[in-house]
Structure 1
Amino acid sequence: MKAALQSIRYEPAGRFEATRYEKVHNVIFQDSKQGSLQVAREIASLIRERADKGQKCVLGLATGSSPIRVYEELVRMHREEGLSFKNVVTFNLDEYHPMDRSNIQSYHYFMHQHLFDHVDIAAENVHIPDGRISLQDVQEYCKKYEGMIEQAGGLDFQLLGIGRTGHIGFNEPGSHYNSATREITLDYVTRIDASSAFKGLENVPRKAITMGIGTIKRAKRIVLLAWGQNKAPVIRETIEGDISSEVPATYLQEHANTTFVLDKEAASLLTRIDTPWLVQSCDWTHDLTHKAVVWLSQKRGKPILQLTDKDYNDMGMSDLLSSEQSSYEINIKIFNRLQHTITGWPGGKPDADDTNRPERAEPRAKRVIIFSPHPDDDVISMGGTFDRLVTQGHEVHVVYQTSGNIAVADHEAIKAAEVANSIGPTEIFDTVIREIREKTEGDFDSKLVRRLKGNIRRAESIAATRYLGIPDDQVHFLDLPFYETGSIKKKPLAEEDIVIMNNIIQKVKPHQIYAAGDLADPHGTHRVCLEALFASLESLKSEEYMKNCWVWLYRGAWHEWETHEIEMAVPMSPAQVLRKRKAIFFHQTQKDGVMFQGEDLREFWVRAEDRNKETAEKYQSLGLASYAAMEAFVRYDFF
């Protein structure tokens, strides 16, 4: 997978020359870690500057996944570089209402877990909206919160995240540009996005207390963080769209000292990144030309080979014609490049000329590892390719990186325990049933309950891999420690996780590795599992057997690679689509209203089939062969 962007130097607002589309200063980093470190340094510099002058530093702070690494770096600076928070006063943006402070989903809990318990800030200088305030007292409490911010001298620095609705804080669509701290009803999309943390939409509070847009805009400096592909649409709308109460973050266009700090996934739909030829003259590399021609074909609704000089000129791509002479020559090159991504032999076709094939012909029978973050991502995301690899004689190992126990609902665990007890009652299953029934909201599953839930998912996985013809000794369960917390919140990736990854790769010595390339959430399980693989590849790349190993990344049930990104497309017949569906069906606990459904109510097998069908239709619309479905991959070059 080729890096689309290089890191851009972080600069304060005022030094950014906006394109004709962009209305907010923004900087783009290769990943969320680099961006977070830069923001933490800016905050630390401000704290020290104010301390040197004997002044307090008033920070507005955010919660959610976006600022976690910023807080981690501030804690590290405190421990290792002597950064003191004695002169810091903080005001948090929001809190669910009602919400007890001891609840692990409360923002009070979050802030102490990630920052306040690890630095020397005075308790009286920490202000977080109180989710325990009675309904009749909320309005007066919010006025006092505003007063405390004013009494502190206003916010010197406000850190923000952004929701998919465009909310900042919990200022949902419809919020007034001059709104103050108040109680607000949460948007359905916001509650959906929070539902995994609360183990179901029905458990997510409907209301929250939030600073208002007007309060936020009075901050002297504002930095908004956005990481991951899921944030790309709202980031484009916020930076390039008109100011609107329907996207409250657009009000930040009116703030003179605001910077959006983005990773390359969150920035991917900005015009200068997504379609740079609409903004400026381009250096027409092979990859950019490929992307542009695919885009042009889709925009004009014409197969690639039917594009004309007029199509190129009308869509702002005339300079490409002047460098390549004619549309005909460009069209042929791009058509052939796309054609060469299609293969029915994902492990390579023996005794064939592989010059224009995505995979090597040799060795004829390859050792293959399919890494699956959860115990079903393998069949959901690449079940057809999985089936092809097995039937074409490759030694396929399936490696489940986490137990997936959190995604097993309590009623499924009780059902399994009761079935076991129906054969012969045992104390261990009686204990499981009792512990689940006595569990209160916010409690973690016990180790025993987690073990049962993990074993349920193991059994489902083994059933699916047997159906696809994999011997049981080629199915591996790593149970990476970062995941095994019993909670939605995970531990940071650690050396022990990398060692476990190294061990399985060293054992198999693969010629091919398949892994989930989802980059939607920087703290999501798929992303962490991918980072674990990348770290393992880095540590093992000097090994001789790794020099002959190719890595292919697939996407999950929600997203697919963009057509121009695809480097291997594996067609599926109607019969193979059905085999994939049956393999997914073995994962019974992940059907019929699963815990982490999100706003897409389709079952995973339906999402997967629709996505694979859509990929095939896109290839067909570009003028290529028609197939029932396609699975897509991008190659990652770790050398």
Structure 2
Amino acid sequence: MSQAVPKSIGLEYPNDDESKKFEKIATHIHKSSQDASFWVANEIAQLIRQRQKQGKNAVLGLATGSTPTKVYDYLVQFHKEEGLSFKNVITFNLDEYYPMKADSVHSYVRFMNEHLFDHIDIKEKNIHIPDGTLDKEDVRDFCKAYEEKINTAGGIDIQVLGIGRTGHIGFNEPGSSLKSKTRLVRLDRVTRLDAASDFFGLENVPTKAITMGVGTIMAAKRVILMAWGEGKSRVIEQSVEGEIRESVPATFLQYHENCEFIIDSAAASFLTRVKTPWLVTECEWNDKLIKKATLWLSEKLDKAILKLTNEDYNEYGMGNLVAEIGSAEHINIKVFNELQHSITGWPGGKPNTDDSQRPERKDPYPKRSLIFSPHPDDDVISMGGTLLRLVDQGHQVHVAYQTSGNIAVFDDEVIRFLDFATDIQEGNTELEKKFSEVRAFLSSKSPGQVDSPEIQQIKGLIRKGEALAACRYCGVEEKNAHFQNLPFYETGTVKKRPHSEEDIQITYDLLNEVKPHQIFAAGDLSDPHGTHRVCLQIIYEAVDRLVADKVDWIDDCYLWLYRGAWQEWDIADMEMAVPIGPKDMERKKNAIFKHQSQKDAAMFPGNDEREFWQRAEQRNTETARKYNQLGMAEYEAMEGFVRYKFK
């Protein structure tokens, strides 16, 4: 399977003791979350087997959320395929929302049963999870008893943790004490915002939770904290390299004698040895690292690239680079030219020109450009300016909407559209009956309840109509809008199925039908719900299959990766930057406005409460500002792309 991180932006980061000199917690970086999860699951399995040979129990502290799910998948696999028994395992879960019914879709009891306990031979009496159904006056006694049970079991052997954006571990929010024990806590607003999508709205997220304390966690014999994705990269850097402080509870783990952070390459991106390795060790310089270091130095000193001096390089750990290349001037000119050559107003290639210094080929012209959009609005949010430019320059633009996006539509939108339909077809008793049934369902619907198939279909049609409106506005022919409705997404909940052969085949067939000269796809590692990651993985697997099948058109095709609504590529990674003028920026925003169900308030805003058009505008103008500060021409806005090289 292809890696989720494009090879074109991968960096070989140092891993010696000197490179880790700023790290205060042992940190192991894996290429992918899947590799890391296997590593953690394997350690847990080894402990269980070792204790079985000794005739002893293995006591595990377990976490919930998206981070450990793959670990649990591997443990279930070890049980079913390798005979790993859990009869000697005692578990204590970190936390639970309060109040929370055990059978609720949001309950951690249900989560653990679905992901682990229902699939292994663990004894029911050995499972311990904080009780969200207690009367408030009983919580304190329960928490005290929970601590006593942990002690009676001999203490926790391995405590598995995730980490929140506030640096919380368990539900120990900023301000938690190092010696805190299991207790009832009030949840931070950021934590509740991060959970809002699972609860279909911030107003539905509980304000309290029962959690093990920091002191309880610190008493574990071994602690393994896991983190995946760029969204966790800053808090990982603060926790591993920062000062110990109550405002980032994970920093307390620096005191633990047997704690290790297990992270993927995306979550490691702000660690010094990854982000700026020249500050901690001697580097083996290549073109990619030279560009990254030079741009970092330019930004650090607020100097244009061509103004950097030998002394600047020497002062920031790059003296050996100057010695190797010859002078700052040689480095500056080299990087300046690379950066300048990445800028193009012709994302489909400029015909009848020398293309040797351009990111895209001049031929063939016009090109068939296929833009994959994970949700029905990602195309215009993330690369709307480039899409408009491709259309304006005469290329045949296709858009593939990979998922229906139906769960992101508010219930009231369904009522509004059915109201309109019944008014138009007044007297249509069948439609009026359907409307009455939909109203009855929605009026009794509880937060997070899965919509009926009929309502899911209506919500999908609403988003389809908006996507078609945006296509018409941008000049994309309706026949070139492809609605894939990939099956992995169609669960009616935030949690999706693993992608399957059917998803890959649908994508393979579309690619073979269009035979594009250019593919644009969302290379987003920050998507908080994982849909972008899965959609990209499906594209990679379909493309790998096309390469293996030696289809004739694939050799003449480029795959460009854009970013989603959460984060932009680093300038050092961008291989094509498309300027957007003021007029086209307005056109891009108007295209985003066509997605009316996502306007004003989106169902899943992530951790940024601004509207998507505001995020897009700020991100594009910030990219242009950075290019300008580096010494490039001043543009209104820019969209960036990284090229993925086929195997």
TM-score (ref. length: structure 1):
0.97
Is 2:525 the partner of 1:519?
Answer: yes
Is 2:203 the partner of 1:197?
Answer: no
SS in 2 for 1:499: helix
Is the CA contact (8 Å cut-off) linking 1:522 and 1:528 kept in structure 2? no
Task: After superposition, give the CA deviation of every residue in 1:119-153 in whole Å (9 maximum; x if it has no partner).
Answer: 11111111110001111111110000001111111
Partner Cα distance (1:383, 1:404) in 2: 18
SS in 2 for 1:565: coil
Is the CA contact (8 Å cut-off) linking 1:47 and 1:85 kept in structure 2? yes
Is 2:574 the partner of 1:566?
Answer: yes
Q: Report how many aligned residue pairs link the two structures.
A: 634
SS in 2 for 1:370: strand
Is 2:72 the partner of 1:71?
Answer: yes
Aligned to 1:339: 340
Partner Cα distance (1:334, 1:150) in 2: 59
Is the CA contact (8 Å cut-off) linking 2:399 and 2:482 kept in structure 1? yes
Aligned to 1:548: 556
Aligned to 1:531: 537
SS in 1 for 2:497: coil
Is 2:162 the partner of 1:161?
Answer: yes
Aligned to 1:609: 617
SS in 2 for 1:288: helix
Partner Cα distance (2:253, 2:173) in 1: 14
Is 2:488 the partner of 1:487?
Answer: no
Amino acid in structure 2 at the alignment position of 1:457: R
Is the CA contact (8 Å cut-off) linking 1:417 and 1:433 kept in structure 2? no
Partner Cα distance (2:411, 2:198) in 1: 15
Residues 535-544 or 190-199, more deviating: 535-544
Q: Quote the offset at 1:359 in angstroms.
A: 0.5
Partner Cα distance (2:533, 2:570) in 1: 18
How do residues 466-477 of structure 1 correspond to structure 2 at under 5 angstroms? 466-477=472-483
- Please identify runs of 4+ aligned residues in structure 1 that moved more than 4 A: 5-9, 15-18
Is the CA contact (8 Å cut-off) linking 2:18 and 2:281 kept in structure 1? no
Is the CA contact (8 Å cut-off) linking 1:294 and 1:622 kept in structure 2? yes
Partner Cα distance (1:94, 1:305) in 2: 54
Aligned to 2:288: 287
Partner Cα distance (1:369, 1:31) in 2: 27
Is the CA contact (8 Å cut-off) linking 1:7 and 1:30 kept in structure 2? no
Amino acid in structure 1 at the alignment position of 2:578: V
Partner Cα distance (2:275, 2:556) in 1: 33
Q: Quote the offset at 1:59 in angstroms.
A: 0.5
Partner Cα distance (2:121, 2:315) in 1: 61
Q: Choose from 629, 635, 638 the match for 2:643.
A: 635
> What are structure 2's unaligned runs of at least 5 residues?
1-5
Q: Choose from 485, 489, 513 the match for 1:507.
A: 513
Partner Cα distance (2:347, 2:488) in 1: 32
Task: After superposition, give the CA deviation of every residue in 1:12-58 in whole Å (9 maximum; x if it has no partner).
Answer: xxx97772210000111111001001111111111111111111111
Is the CA contact (8 Å cut-off) linking 2:322 and 2:328 kept in structure 1? yes
Q: Quote the offset at 1:394 in angstroms.
A: 1.3
Residues 387-396 or 592-601, more deviating: 592-601
Is 2:608 the partner of 1:600?
Answer: yes
Partner Cα distance (2:341, 2:155) in 1: 60
Is the CA contact (8 Å cut-off) linking 2:13 and 2:277 kept in structure 1? no
Partner Cα distance (2:37, 2:271) in 1: 20
Partner Cα distance (1:176, 1:379) in 2: 46
How do residues 377-392 of structure 1 correspond to structure 2 at under 5 angstroms? 377-392=378-393
Q: Quote the offset at 1:500 in angstroms.
A: 1.1
Partner Cα distance (1:16, 1:497) in 2: 44
Partner Cα distance (2:368, 2:141) in 1: 67
Is the CA contact (8 Å cut-off) linking 2:19 and 2:273 kept in structure 1? no
Aligned to 1:12: none
> What are structure 1's unaligned runs of at least 5 residues?
10-14
Aligned to 2:353: 352
Partner Cα distance (2:343, 2:472) in 1: 28
Amino acid in structure 2 at the alignment position of 1:636: Y
Aligned to 2:3: none
Amino acid in structure 1 at the alignment position of 2:54: K
Identical columns (%): 56
TM-score (ref. length: structure 2):
0.96
Please provide the CA RMSD for this pair.
Answer: 1.4
Residues 185-194 or 18-27, more deviating: 18-27
Task: After superposition, give the CA deviation of every residue in 1:47-92 in whole Å (9 maximum; x if it has no partner).
Answer: 1111111111111000011001001111111111111111111000
Partner Cα distance (1:17, 1:84) in 2: 41
How do residues 574-589 of structure 1 correspond to structure 2 at under 5 angstroms? 574-589=582-597
Is the CA contact (8 Å cut-off) linking 1:161 and 1:169 kept in structure 2? yes
Aligned to 1:364: 365
SS in 2 for 1:340: helix
Q: Quote the offset at 1:275 in angstroms.
A: 0.3
Is the CA contact (8 Å cut-off) linking 1:37 and 1:70 kept in structure 2? yes
Q: Quote the offset at 1:156 in angstroms.
A: 0.8
Aligned to 1:216: 217
Partner Cα distance (1:47, 1:6) in 2: 34
* Cα separation, partners in 2 of 1:8 and 1:75, compared to 1, 3 Å: farther
SS in 1 for 2:585: helix
Partner Cα distance (1:596, 1:440) in 2: 18
Is 2:458 the partner of 1:452?
Answer: yes
